[in-house]
Structures are given as structure tokens and as C-alpha cells.
Copies of this chain bind each other. A is one copy, B any other.
Amino acid sequence: MKEKILTADWILSSPELPPLKNGAIVIKGSKIEDLGPQKEILSRYPHYQILNFKNKLLFPGLVNAHTHVPMSILRGIAEDLPLMTWLTKYIFPVESHLKREWVYWGTKLSLIEMIRSGITLFCDMYLFEPEVIRATEEAGLKALLGEGLFDFPSPGYGPLERGLALTEELLKAFERHSKIKIAVSPHTLYTCSPDTIKKCLKLSHKYGAPLHIHLAENKEELEEIGKKYKKRPVELLDSLGGLQENLLAVHCVKLSPEEVELLGKKGVKIAHCPESNLKLGSGIAPLPEMLSVGLVVGLGTDGPASNNDLDLFSEMKTATLIHKGLREDPTIVTAKEVFFMATEWGARALFFNDTGKLLPGYRADIAFLDLQHLPLQPDYNPLALLVYSAKAGYVSDLMVDGEFIMRNYHLLSIKEELVRERIHEIKEEILHILRKNFSPSLDK
């Protein structure tokens, strides 16, 4: 049946509205049609199918604003190392042997984790991105996706020109797709020359597509760009015409106050990835300043090889806690703000403007928190439960565009056992590569 009513103990439609106790949501096709107290809704729509969610808290599906999902196959491969050792001794050697099917199965592994933790929309940049697209379409999630572009030949597509051609093909193929959007995705300013960035911008303008890039992530990037171009990263991108409303800039840890202002004025979108920034020793982004100039900031986990999860509950908590502690002020970066970042603002940062809150006219992208888990009791404050107490495993059901993709902890669109088997085999292949070529220490 296309029309249904979901009733639940609590509905948090948006962090700016009070949570609805004993509420009901009306869904017609892929959209939310109405919302209100159960009694009112049930009498207003007498012929709709009713689904009861006792002990559940319904909230907008979470938005993971930046990740590299296939990297789940490298989760935990090397830890607590300097960034360059981690990259050159472990990540790059494996990526130079990267196989198309590893990307597909690594994506599946990550999709399972994201579905089980309430994520309905994500943004990804990696190699062999068509495999990410294939797995995501099969799973039924929404995403902004793009092939990572570099000056040097890519293990995915070969020389840059073929990467740009692939991106253009994808832009055409997904121009009117309801769930998948394509971003032109130059990797960084230190792996893409100004000329490459200009080509990317041209493509982005031609198709009205987002440009997705890592920007000002750490002091090494500042030094390298400074040495090469005598500019700061934001300044360099600005000089190329890159600061614009279509830009999704990831990390932005190393911003001066003037750069925060500038990004705000230009309407740039930000993907803030606090746990990755901490774990890799990049630093702490000036989130309170970003929010105070009205920047649209989403929240991302970054790749599961550097986090090591795809858990936006944990990311929300980290995003709010770290600034309270650092500035010794418990009132800044509130639960409300980080929940906005993980939902509506994240959706806007990914250029999906019809999702991220549960209100009439919006898409029915809904996550269901299972309040049977006792660490979610007592339920004085649903928003605080979501941000400060909920765990990735506590989501029982997930709906995208009005269709369930998980019901009562059972995944409807991915076969978990098959994924487990393939990941086990891929792990053995990767260990073989590392042992043979690069890291005998792994055998210890």
C-alpha cells in the first residue's frame, strides 16, 4: 500500500520543534503528507494502513556529509601512526593494488553499518566510484557521489582526462536520478593542480553539479600549498573561482577568522569531520565560528580506515563535547546544533533540499530509535537521548523515500552473510599484499 500512518511514542521532526509525544506521521508515496497527535491523525485519515511503533522514537534519517565508504576494507590496518607513515606504508600500497570488486564489497560493508546506525544519505569520494554507485543503488540509500580526481594516474581510471570523462558520463547518467547525485570531486589542492581545479570547475558549472574537495585539513597542507603557490589553501581556491555555493569543502580545520567570514559570504557548504580530524592529528576546526557566521555545516565520519566507524551518533557527541571542553563553556555547540548538522544542514550541504526533517512535503527518510534499550531511559528529552546517549546499534528500522530498507533490525536490501564472507576473503588478499611487499611488522 502506498499510503500509511506511522504511530510512535515520540517523533522528533526537527530540532527546532518540540518532540511530539504519541505522534503520528502520514506518508503518501515517497513523501510525508501530514504529522500530528495520534488521535487527530487517525481520525483524519481513516482508510490508511497503520503501522505502530511502540517504544520507538522517530527522527529524520541522519546525513553523513563526508566519507570514503570502500575504505572499510582497511579498518584497523594500522593505528596511532604519523599521517605520512600511515598513508605511504599502508594505505597507498594497498590502494595501488585496489580491485574494482573490493570497492563494491567494501561499500556494502559500510552501507550495512550506515543503515544500522540510522543514516539515509551520505557523500562519498573514492576510486572505482561506479562500484559505490552500484552498491548504493542496490541498498536503496541516497548519496552524493564522485570519482576522486588527481593529477597523477589513478588506480581507478588511469590518467586524469579519463577521470574527467568518467565524471561527465556519470553526471549525464544520473542527471535526473531521484536518489543519487554526482559531484565533481578533485581530491585536494596538493594532488590537483590549478589547471585541474579549473577543469573541474568548468564541468561543475556545465552541469550545475557540486564540487567536492578536501580543504585546509592540516598544517602539512598549509605548508605544502604555501611553499608551492605562496598562498593559503582557501586563498588559492578563491583565486581559481572555486569559492561558490556549489562547493562542498571538507574538513576546513585550518581556517583563519577572515577565511571563516569569506566562506560564509560565498555560501560555501562545509563537511565537518571532528573524529577524523582528531584521530589523524589534524586539529580542531573552528566550528563555533563557522556556525556564528551562518555557514551550512554538515557532519561527516570520514572514511572508516581513519575513524574507525561510520557512526554519526558518536560524531554528534564528539562535535558538541570537544568545543565545550576546549573553551570551558558547556553552553556552546549545543545538542540542537549538532543534530541540525547531522540532519537538515547536512542534507543542504549535500544539495538534497527535500530531506532532513519530518515535515509535510519532505521526503519520508526516517530513522527509528528503539527505546527498549535501557540506556535510552528515562526519556525526559528525546533530543538529548539522540545526541548524548544513543548508540549506533540502537536503530531498529530505517525508511528511505517511504520504503523500509530495515525492519525490526532485519536488512531488506543487503545480504549480510554474503558480505561477511567476501570481506573475509578480501582481508586475506590485502594481508597477502602487505606481507609480501611492505609491512612485515603486520606478522608480529
Which residues of chain A have a CB within 8 Å of any CB of chain B? 18, 72-73, 75-77, 79-83, 86, 109, 112-113, 116, 218-219, 274-275, 277-284, 307-311, 314, 317-318, 320-322, 324-331, 334-336, 373-375, 377-381, 383-385, 388-389, 391-394, 416, 419-420, 423-424, 426-427, 430-431, 442, 444
Contacts and interface: CB of A to CB of B under 8 A. Distances in A.
A374 B420 contact: yes
A381 B90 CA distance: 14
Contact of A391 (B75, B283, B374, B392): B392
Contact of A378 (B75, B274, B330, B385): B75
A312 B318 CA distance: 14
A308 B314 CA distance: 12
Determine chain A's interface SS by DSSP, over half rule. helix
Given A321-B318, A374-B109, A392-B375, A79 B284 contact: no
Given A284-B325, A331-B80, A393-B391, A112 B378 contact: no
Contacts of A309: 375, 388-389, 391
A379 B218 CA distance: 29
Contacts of A310: 375
B374 A325 contact: no
A86 B325 CA distance: 16
Nearest to A86: B330
Contacts of A335: 79-80
Contacts of A388: 76, 79, 279, 307-309
B284 A378 contact: no
A381 B80 contact: no
Contacts of A444: 18
Indicate how many identical chains form the complex. Answer: 2
A282 B381 contact: no
Contacts of A321: 275, 278-279, 318
A171 to B, nearest CB: 32
A373 B393 contact: yes
A383 B308 CA distance: 12
A329 B321 CA distance: 20
Nearest to A329: B281
A379 B431 CA distance: 11
A113 to B, nearest CB: 4
B83 A374 contact: no
A279 B324 contact: yes
A277 B378 contact: no
Contacts of A385: 76, 308
Contacts of A334: 79-80
Contacts of A283: 325, 328
A73 B375 CA distance: 11
Nearest to A333: B80
Contacts of A308: 384-385, 388-389
B423 A281 contact: no
B82 A331 contact: yes
A76 B113 contact: no
Contact of A281 (B113, B282, B328, B392): B328
Contact of A326 (B73, B113, B284, B427): B284
Contacts of A392: 375, 391, 393
Contacts of A326: 278, 284, 326
Nearest to A434: B380
Contact of A328 (B219, B311, B328, B424): B219
A175 to B, nearest CB: 33
Contacts of A380: 75-77, 427, 431, 442
A444 B16 CA distance: 13
B381 A79 contact: yes
Q: Which 9 A-B pairs have the closest CB atoms?
A: A278-B325, A281-B330, A393-B393, A76-B384, A378-B427, A278-B321, A76-B381, A308-B388, A80-B334
